[in-house]
Amino acid sequence: MGKEENILSVKDLQTSFFIDDGSEVKAVDGVTFDVPKGKTIGIVGESGSGKSITALSILKLIDNPGKIKGGQILYKGDNLVDYNERKMRKIRGNQISMIFQEPMTSLNPTYTVGEQISESYKIHQGLGKKESKRKVIEMLKLVGIPSPEKRIDQYPFELSGGMRQRVMIAMALACRPEMLIADEPTTALDVTIQAQILELIKELQDELGMSVIMITHDLGVVAETCDYVAVMYCGKVVEYADVRTLFKNPRHPYTVGLLNSLPRSDVDQEELIPIKGTVPSPDEMPTGCRFAPRCPFATEKCHNELPELEQIGLGEQIRCWIYTDEWTGDPEVKVYEP
Amino acid sequence: MSDPAVQAAVTTNASLNPRVKARKDLIKRFKKNKAALISFYVILFLIVVSIIVHVFQLFGITITPHSPSAVNLPDRFQGPSAEYWFGADHMGRDIFSRILHGMILTLGIGFVSVFMGALVGVPLGIISGYYGGKVDAVIMRIIDVLLAFPGILLALAIVSILGGSLVNVTIAVAVYSVPGFARIVRGSTLATKKLEYIDAIRALGAKDGRIIFKHILPNVMSPIIVNATLYIATAVLTAAGLSFLGLGAQPPTPEWGAMLNDGRGFMRDAGHITLFPGLAILVVVLAFNIFGDGLRDALDPKMKN
């Protein structure tokens, strides 16, 4: 990082859901990360870690009873948190676009592919029928859909999952946004199609020079596509590093646990090592480090006090007591240090 | 979804415009239900007949056997005969002619009031379901208040405030149909709003108006249509009821409910005066109910095949 220009900086973002009985669920609790221009950043985490809510917060698509409670979302220096709905609409789809997990349900079944993609042009550029049709065909070609002139009049149900995801991407990129948020874009697809879609996103990124936020729970996808990674756990970023460092030198015990639980082709393994325990439910969130109850190295301090996200080395950030001067546990734990 | 046979069938049929194909499928499904099909033709026939009778009457030509208001006292209370097909009433007026002339009123009240009800109820339901929160709470509490009155009582109250006339009856029945539309549309909107493609279109920067009209309304259309059809039957019944109570059509208007009231005092001696208008109401209400049920079955994708 360092000298690179950030197109988006999320600083201490807090998004909560306020339940009827007066309780508050902190889905995103102080998330901080940067997206350098033209790069891909991965947000990894288990279900419920707040990664999708982070993405929706960036576009301010959080519905009642959810609310962005605090923090900043700096897009090209402007704080999107202060934007009103009208200004946000100009950003959505035009500057920052989003594609969703489920290509089956993300397209309106009552409109043709062409009609849906041209929505972007109608909304942001006010183009007429003929002009937008030409652009839609161009867009379908760009996302690698064969014979676009024919596809344009087809309905979503006539397309396969992979094709639909391509249509979704075409819709999202129609106005050439500078940033794409991909919320688990490949989760619902076959492995072979997954590879194709990831490849397509990468190609388009190079071609259009956009930045990408890739939200996933699949570390394989991260390794394949991302430049930087933010690992999230229970609404907080626990580790932020560039992708090579993260895979070579994971520091946070949670990241280490995630990597250990993956099958590897280079090591002969009898068994995978799971992370013990389960993600705590929002109403019984630990007071200290969120990961402490499952962490094999946790000390008294870990259970009682929440560590800050600290800068470690070049562009690496970590939220763990082990890497602070205050660490009182086993000094041997720092074996992960390079 | 990915069943190869289904996929193949879909792709071979797809050469046809899918929107046209969907409509054809719908008609095919509807036609399987014979009772509903017959009801549909009955409704169509009644509409055509009532319009013809009315249009001719506008030009001063009576095409029914008698004029609906021609009093012929010597023939009063006459039972059905070649001259008076459905008999004559207490003033010697031809009941058959009166029923034909009254049909446009009955159907008109049915269609107009339901249309007016939908015009108010559908937007309320969509706004309520789409925005949720306080807006939803306020709208739905008002709807609850309307629902708390039995329909006929509500209509009675409205007519007694506005005064008894056909127009006011139509308004009363419309008000009474608003809650039904609002509730049904709100429910469908809530379900549609949660679908991912609504999020997707919002993420593209679409305005609320565009989302509501282009993406939600088409998806809540089928419950609206079904509800409207079924409500016409209720509207006809309520309107006839109000006229029967003397709050709607005033004599000598040949409104069916009013005709029932005319014959009420002579039921023991000349039952035909109430029998035939009653049967007419029965036929219309039954036809709309069966047609509405058939339409619902045809439109409900879960019932497909």
In sequence order, what are the beta bridge partners of A98? Answer: A181
For A178-191, what is the mean pLDDT? 88
Q: Which residue of B has its CA nearest to A107?
A: B197
Measuring CA to CA, how many Å separate B253 from each of A69, A231, A235, B250, B298? Answer: 66, 78, 72, 6, 38
pLDDT at position A268: 74
A9-27 tens-digit pLDDT: 999 999 988 888 888 888 8
Structure tokens, A34:
């940067």
Model confidence at B131: pLDDT above 70: yes
B20 touches chain A (CB under 8 A): no
Which residues from chain A sit within 8 angstroms of residue B205, using beta carbons? Answer: 88-94, 123-124
**What are the residue ranges spanned by the domains of chain B?**
28-67+91-303
| pLDDT the model gives residue B301 | 60
Comparing CB atoms, the residue among B197, B199, B207 nearest residue A89 is B207
Phi, psi of B22 (to 5 degrees): -60, -40
Query: Which residue range is the domain that position A76 belongs to?
Result: 1-95+177-338
Per-chain mean pLDDT for chain B = 87
Q: List the single residue in B18, B197, B210 with the smallest CB-CB distance to A107.
A: B197
Choices 3.40.50.12500, 3.20.20.140, 1.10.3720.10, 3.90.550.10: CATH for B28-67+91-303? 1.10.3720.10
Decide if A219 is inside a domain: yes
- pLDDT above 70 coverage of chain A, percent: 96
Q: What is the CATH number for A80?
A: 3.40.50.300
Q: Residue B154 has what pLDDT?
A: 84
In a domain, A124, yes or no: no
* pLDDT number for residue A4: 64
Q: Could you report the predicted ipTM of this complex, rounded to two decimals? A: 0.81
Q: Is the pLDDT of residue B303 over 70?
A: no
Q: Are A176 and A209 in contact (CB under 8 A)?
A: no
B210–chain A Cβ distance below 8 A for any pair: yes
The tens digit of pLDDT for each residue in B134-155 reads 999 999 999 999 888 887 888 8
Give the pLDDT confidence of A142-165 residue by residue, as tens digits: 888 888 888 888 888 888 888 888
The stretch A263-277 carries a mean pLDDT of 78
In chain A, the residue whose alpha carbon lies closest to the alpha carbon of B192 is A108
**Looking at residues A225-249, what average pLDDT do you find?**
90
Does the model's pTM come out above 0.90? no
Structural domain includes residue A264: yes
Query: B236-260 as b/e, with b when 16 or more CB fall inside 10 Å?
Result: bbbbbbbbbbebbbeeebbbbbbbb
Is the CB of B218 inside 8 Å of chain A's CB atoms? yes
Tens of pLDDT, residues B162-190? 988 889 999 999 998 999 999 999 999 99
Chain A positions touching B202 (Cβ under 8 A) are 61, 92
If one counts the domains in chain A, the total is 1
User: What is the band of A127 on the pLDDT scale with cuts at 50, 70, 90?
Assistant: confident
- Our CA-based measurement puts residue A265 at a distance from the nearest CA of chain B, in whole angstroms, of 32
Cross-chain CB nearest to B205 (options A89, A108, A160): A89
Q: Is residue A41 part of a domain?
A: yes
Both structure tokens of A293? 């109850």
Q: What are the start-end ranges of the E strands in chain A?
A: 6-18, 24-36, 40-44, 66-75, 78-79, 96-99, 179-183, 211-216, 228-233, 236-242, 310-312, 316-318
pLDDT tens per residue, range B11-54: 444 445 667 777 888 888 888 889 999 999 999 999 999 999 99
Q: Position of tokens 């991302």?
A: A226
Mean pLDDT of A63-80: 88
Residue A241 lies inside a defined structural domain of this protein: yes
Q: What is the pLDDT of residues B45-96, one digit of tens each?
A: 999 999 999 999 999 888 888 888 888 888 888 889 888 889 898 888 999 9
Beta bridge partners of A74: A9, A79
CA-closest candidate to residue A159, choices A128, A125, A117, A119: A117
